[in-house]
């Protein structure tokens, strides 16, 4: 029996969330629903615009990063998880380390960390529950193969690669090396596409990962369209069957479809009053992987992952509390 169910690798970010209207997005020249990479000076300007010019106050601050969110729900559900990432020796980094430790996720992080600035993400939520993110990667942009814990990876059932890593030269190399270690160590490889903008701008890197072999791909309908060139969910399914062994396409409130290499299963979305979609795909992937590690099939995993994602979008923030998780599995 392996020590970890899931080994994740991705960006380490501390998320700060704001509630705004669509007019603010227009004024800030932000594209709704898209993650935009920004520099530190731009991040400071955006904070000033939010808090001083528009008098919006942060509604929540928490440890984040897409794959980190996934590892947290994996741990909350009872699956041992390990996360490789990079944070600096600053107060934001201290916050991130404690946050993952409190969630029961093992990491490569220690007290001996490099000087610099830990990555931060500003998550802006509009009344339609859509989230628009601006990310200042900071030191996480220097994530490299050095941050990999090879023993922990070899002793895991699944590797989970965050798609945002394709935007960083060293981060992409870390993803490729982790993929190769997994491939030669009987560790199944899962990949999330993470964001439509990533697929559009870094397609060649995704192709390289997929060509080397991915056992399970997570994507939403927009990402699937960009990856395959197809339009309908049905056509995306047909195209993805030629690209990877198994996959899941999430379709927001209408649910998701999952292909296990033989059968296609559909799960209907669980009705919810959405207030914030931040982290919905992250919690879906984590719940799905946990189910597979517990011996459940794609159909059951699909149903339960939709249930958890639906609960998340009815709350503010990218994570559920342990109490909320426990209430859903009773």
Of residues 170 and 271, more confidently modeled = 170
As a whole-number percent, the residues of the chain with pLDDT over 70 amount to 100
Tokens of 15: 């998320």
Report the chain's terminal Cα–Cα distance, integer Å: 26
- Evaluate the CA torsion angle 38, 44, 45, 51 in order and state its sign: positive
What domains sit in the chain, N to C, each tagged with a CATH number?
4-12+66-116+138-328 (3.40.1190.20)
User: Which element (helix H / strand E) includes 220?
Assistant: strand 216-220
What are residue 135's DSSP bridge partners? 37, 121
At 52 the pLDDT is: 87
Average pLDDT over residues 242-265: 97
pLDDT of 57 above 90: no
Q: How high is the mean pLDDT of the chain?
A: 95
* pLDDT (mean) for 72-76: 98
Sequence-ordered alpha helix ranges (H) in 125-220: 150-154, 169-183, 196-201, 203-212
Q: What is the pLDDT of residues 103-124, one digit of tens each?
A: 999 999 988 999 999 999 999 9
Angle CA(254)–CA(257)–CA(262) in degrees, nearest 5?
A: 160
Average pLDDT over residues 291-319: 95
23 half-sphere exposure, CB direction, 13 A CA radius: 1
pLDDT at residue 184 greater than cutoff 80: yes
Segment 255-264, tens digit of pLDDT:
999 999 999 9
Strands of the 60-64 sheet, one edge to the other: 35-37, 131-136, 119-125, 13-19, 60-64
Q: What is the DSSP letter of 163?
A: G
Question: Looking at residues 170-188, what average pLDDT do you find?
Answer: 98
**Mean pLDDT of the region 13-20:** 92
Strands annotated E in 35-137: 35-37, 60-64, 81-84, 106-107, 119-125, 131-136
Residue 6 three-state SS: strand
Range in 42-51, 206-215, 225-234, 240-249 the model is least confident about? 42-51
pLDDT band for 275, please (50, 70, 90 cuts). Answer: confident
Closest alpha carbon to 42 in 60, 33, 29, 54: 29
């Amino acid at each position: 029996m392996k020590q970890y169910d899931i080994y994740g690798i991705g960006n380490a970010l501390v998320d700060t969330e704001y509630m705004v209207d669509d007019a603010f997005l227009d004024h800030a020249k932000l594209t709704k629903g898209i993650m935009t990479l920004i520099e530190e000076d731009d991040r400071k300007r955006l904070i000033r615009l939010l808090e001083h010019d528009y008098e919006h106050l942060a509604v929540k601050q928490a440890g984040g990063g897409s794959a980190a969110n996934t590892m947290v729900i994996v741990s909350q559900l009872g699956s041992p998880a390990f996360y490789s990432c990079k944070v600096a020796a600053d107060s934001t980094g201290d916050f991130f380390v404690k946050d993952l430790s409190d969630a029961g996720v093992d990491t490569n992080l220690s007290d001996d960390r490099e000087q610099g600035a830990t990555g931060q993400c500003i998550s802006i939520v509009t009344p339609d529950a859509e989230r628009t993110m601006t990310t200042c990667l900071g030191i996480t942009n220097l994530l490299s193969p050095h941050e990999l814990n090879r023993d922990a990876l070899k002793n895991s059932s699944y590797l989970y690669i965050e798609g945002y890593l394709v935007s960083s030269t060293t981060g992409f190399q870390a993803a490729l090396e982790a993929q190769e270690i997994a491939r030669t160590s009987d560790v199944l490889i899962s990949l999330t596409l993470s964001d439509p903008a990533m697929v559009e701008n870094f397609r060649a890197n995704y192709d390289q990962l997929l060509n080397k072999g991915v056992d399970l791909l997570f994507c939403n309908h927009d990402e699937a369209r960009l990856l395959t060139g197809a339009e309908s969910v049905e056509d995306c399914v047909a195209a993805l069957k030629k690209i990877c062994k198994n996959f899941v396409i999430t379709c927001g409130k209408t649910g998701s479809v999952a292909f296990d290499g033989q059968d296609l299963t559909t799960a209907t979305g669980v009705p919810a009053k959405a207030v914030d979609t931040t982290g919905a795909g992250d919690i879906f992937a984590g719940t799905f992987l946990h189910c597979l590690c517990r011996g459940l099939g794609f159909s059951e995993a699909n149903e339960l992952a939709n249930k958890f994602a639906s609960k998340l979008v009815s709350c503010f923030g990218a994570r559920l509390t342990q109490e909320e998780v426990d209430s859903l599995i009773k």
